[in-house]
Structure 1
Amino acid sequence: MNENSGIPVLDVDPYSAENLTDPYPMHALMRSAGPVVRLKDYPTVVACARHQETHAVFNDAQTFISGAGVGLANFNIEKPFRPRSLILEADAPLHTATRAVLSRIMSPKTVMQIRASFAQEAERLLDKALELNAANGSIDWMAVVANPFPLKVFADSIGIQEEGRENLLLYGDMVFNSMGPQNEVFTKSVERVVPVTQWIMDQCDRSKLRPGGFGDLIWQAAEAGEISMEQAPMLVRSLLSAGLDTTINSLGNAIYALGHHPQEYARLHSDPSLARPAFEEALRWESTVQTFFRTANRDCEIAGVPIAAQTKVLCMLASANRDPDKWPDADTYDIGRRPSGHMAFGSGLHGCVGQAIARLEGELILTALAKRVKGIEFAGPHTRRLNNTLRAFDTLPVRLIPA
């Protein structure tokens, strides 16, 4: 087996500006074409856009590995042009060791301990948002709430200094862009991050981290021999790159969903305890992480379709989350739905290690919003920040109708 023959070939580019802006027609085309498709512009890639196959690939970590990179590049056969993530781009036994450290640090017990301080900050931010909304008639949700909240609570939890935290947004944008082709979107993000790269690296040094924060606990694990001293700053950097942009844009996507579905927001406003399911459904309906790659570790099959070893497998997570074979009325945002099995945080061994904290952040912001606001109106056109991997906003102007 030396080629992926007999697979439908589509003339679509997931990384075009058109498809990054509005990916859903492309998703429908890919799902309808078959369980596995090829892309004309990416001959070394096959893609899965349906839920069943995407879920199966993510849950077979021995056949479909992450260590060759979760982006377009295959680090097994080409020199990595960036450092591999110790969490996202590692296979056993390396992944086992590093994930064990982070799983302990960001355990359910930790989530319980940080809940009160996170909730206090969510309440403060929503009070500030309503003040600005009253003064100006509207707010930019991204600038006032979605960006500041994780930059405050999650960065505090890691233990990095307050000055310069906005640099983390440039870094995260570049990291997720690097998982696609080296197109204009990627090269511009690299240009933006170059001036702050040294600042990012400096924040991973133990001397810069607050004692007792997640970053310091990673260094303690290195001292205990659970990971190497060289791996400690790389693991801190993984938290800085993966834990902010994803949550920030999930908060934006949740408000985008609720603003487009006023009847669903009315349900949330009348019962703020629905904040968690409202956020969960937003993760499914408008997935922040649109795509991740795996690499076939051997000749294998997906849904009976032969796949050659070293083939990059593009997993269309956002498409899987709107697969009508998995979700009735999949294009409908419904906070009464139980979207168990959605792929917004991945699945299997490489499922997002910080997802409990991301869910906490989403729940607390939507709870604070529901208690204070009876309606959301869009106050002008939003602007997208095109990213090769993320569904992201630059601006999201909304008018909050106070309760």
Structure 2
Amino acid sequence: MEHTGLLIHGKDHLMQAIPAIDVDPFTEEVLSDGTDFHQQLLAAAPVVKLQQSEGHDIVGVGRDAVVRAIFENHTDFLNSRGGGILDLARDEPFRKPGVLQETDPPYHDRVRKVMTDIISPRHLRGLRQDFQRKADELVDNLLDMREFDAHTDLAEAYPMYVIPDAIMGVRPGGRENLLRYSIWLFESMGPKTPRAQQVIDSVDNVQGALAWVTESTQRENVAPGSFGAKLWEGVDQGLLSEEEAGLMTRSLVGAGVDTTIYALGLTFNLLLDNPVQYALLHETPQLGKFAFEEGMRCGAPVRQIWRTPARDLEIEGIPVREEQKIMLVLGAANHDPDRWGPTADDYDINRDASGHLALGRGIHACVGAPIARLEADVLLSTFARRVKSLERLGPSEPYINNTLRGWNSIPIRITPA
């Protein structure tokens, strides 16, 4: 048999039967708080058969070492068969597949290189001044308010303020469509449970939101100098097709807005729960980027990332079939004590959290991660420098979504420095 890290490929008469746990990861209870599910997944086995009320054949992987190995093996675990629960070899896609998230090499290598060249340190440096100016303006407003919702008025407001300008350069009107598109997209990546279908059906004019996002990423609607404009320059250079440029701009906006909003909200909620950690951040505001990394590790704003086996194979002696979808549970991996030690569940901004899996790993790791990290570094450092302390005004309300994890509301009061 061929061995690649922890993964054992091919068939073997000594294969174990695949273990199962009686948990549906898409119930409202688990989506509200996945802690028990993560613990069961870590304790049960390297690969576990999961229950799913809509009839999907899925297995879950939660241990850090196994999730990491699957991420790094793009030959045997494919993205091109769907970034969600659907198998694009059999099922009709709910949208045009992404040219980064839902492709494999060698095609993926070409488009990834174009995107990586655009999101270079040189181009990112040009964003910092504008990000800082807008962070100062936002924190000024919050200091005037004193009491506000840390989700809507802070974690959501900042990415919605900076990213559409930096990436797309679109006019202010209509940007609320990005949030409506996000709700539809990330619910649709999971099973169409009655809850998810109800949410999807309740999105106001979803076709209008989709049309706005598509239109806003086209050449004539992206501002000169924006990252979207740089992608369209790739068309003129023969590096991308027009369709690829539009789809890649769409992907970049999503990376900078959706997951960043919920990652920031999770981080602020953790700081509220850990006042000693916030006091440390206030004393040393340059720890903002570390507070965010640890927030992503502890919070895992993306619940799971999917892979599909290219063929029948084994993982740690446990068989998985080509048609089974593998659910890589990032929240479980980021709390695996075998990787993070006995303090895995603690939020500690002095921890080196740089190896977490919240944004994926390998060739399909989140391409927009440098933008998200720049946003968070500027915002958290600015906020911590000017705000002495945080106080809850009520319980945080969880955001229930098939794919994203975070909060709908985080009511707080702040004390100026």
Tell me which residue corresponds to 2:394: 380
- Map 1:131-146 onto structure 2 (within 5 A): 131-133=144-146, 138-146=147-155
2:377 aligns with: 363
1:32 aligned onto 2:46: no
Superposition TM-score, scaled by structure 1 size: 0.95
Checking the alignment, whether the CA contact within 8 Å between 1:280 and 1:339 is kept in structure 2 is yes
Q: Partners in 1 of 2:308 and 2:388 — Cα distance?
A: 47
1:15-164 equivalences in 2 (<5 Å):
15-41=26-52, 44-133=57-146, 138-158=147-167, 159-164=169-174
Alignment correspondent of 2:310: 297
Q: For residues 302 and 178 of structure 1, what CA distance do their matches in structure 2 show?
A: 28
Identity over aligned residues, as a percent? 38
Q: Any idea what SS the aligned residue of 2:332 has?
A: helix
Deviation digits for residues 352-391 of structure 1 (CA, Å, limit 9, x no counterpart):
1111111111111111111111111111122222111111
Q: Residue 61 of structure 2 aligns to which amino acid in structure 1?
A: C
CA distance in 1, matches of 2:243, 2:382: 41
SS at match of 2:129: helix
- Does structure 1 conserve the Cα–Cα contact (< 8 Å) formed by 2:94 and 2:188? no
Alignment of 1:169-184 (within 5 A): 169-184=179-194
Give the partner amino acid of 2:363.
L
Query: 2:325 aligns to what?
Result: 312
The residue matched to 2:338 in structure 1 has which SS? coil
Counterpart in the other structure of 1:11: 22
Q: Report the residue type matching 1:19 in the other structure.
A: V
- CA shift, 1:13, in A, is 1.0
| Bigger Cα displacement from structure 2, 307-316 vs 58-67 | 307-316
- 2:411 corresponding residue in structure 1: 397
Q: Secondary structure at the match of 2:348?
A: coil
Residue 347 of structure 1: aligned partner:
361
1: CA distance, partners of 2:49 / 2:16:
9
RMSD: 1.7
- The alpha carbon displacement at 1:191 in A equals 4.1
In structure 2, relative to structure 1, the CA distance for the partners of 1:189 and 1:392 (3 Å cut) is: farther
Distance 1:340 1:149 in 2: 23
- Look up the SS of the partner of 1:174 in the other structure: helix
Write the distance in 2 (CA, Å) between the matches of 1:345 and 1:216: 25
Check conservation: 2:18, 2:49, Cα contact below 8 A.
yes
Q: Which among 338, 343, 352 is matched to residue 338 of structure 1? A: 352
Pairing partner for 2:295 from 260, 276, 282: 282
Partner SS state of residue 328, structure 2: strand
3-state SS, counterpart of residue 318 of structure 1 = helix
Q: Offset at 1:286?
A: 0.7
Residue identity matched to 1:117: D
CA distance in 2 between counterparts of 1:241 and 1:267 reads: 31
Residue 184 (structure 1) shift: 3.5
Matched residue SS, 1:15: coil
* 1:186–1:100 Cα change, 3 Å: farther
**Alignment partners' CA distance in 1, 2:305 and 2:232:** 29
Instruction: Measure the CA separation in 1 of the matches of 2:78 and 2:337.
Output: 27
- The 2-side partners of 1:250 and 1:365 are apart by 13
Contact in 2 for aligned 1:171/1:241 (Cα 8 Å): no
Map 1:145-294 onto structure 2 (within 5 A): 145-158=154-167, 159-187=169-197, 188-189=199-200, 191-192=202-203, 193-294=206-307
Matches of 2:106 and 2:318, distance apart in 1: 29
- Residue aligned with 2:108, SS: helix
Deviation (angstroms), 1:68 = 0.4
Task: Give the distance between the partners of 2:318 and 2:355, measured in 1 at CA.
Answer: 24
Distance (whole Å) between structure 1 residues aligned to residue 164 and residue 316 of structure 2: 42
The 3-state SS of whatever aligns with 1:38 is strand
Report runs of 4+ in structure 1 exceeding 4 Å deviation: none
Equivalences, count: 399
Give yes or no for contact 2:21–2:50 (8 Å, CA) kept in 1.
yes
The alpha-carbon distance between structure 1 residues 190 and 343, as it changes in their structure 2 partners (threshold 3 A), is farther
Measure, in 1, the Cα distance between the counterparts of 2:201 and 2:81. 22
Amino acid at match of 1:177: E
Provide the C-alpha distance between the structure 2 equivalents of 1:239 and 1:190, rounded to a whole number of angstroms: 26
Q: Deviations over 1:115-152 (max 9, x none)?
A: 1111111111111111011xxxx111122111121112
Q: Which amino acid aligns with 1:322?
A: H
Q: Is the 8 A contact 1:172 1:244 kept in 2?
A: no
> Alpha-carbon deviations, 1:133-175, whole Å to 9, x = none?
1xxxx11112211112111211111112211111101111221
Contact 1:174/1:186 (8 A) holds in 2? no
- 2: distance between equivalents of 1:212 and 1:156? 10
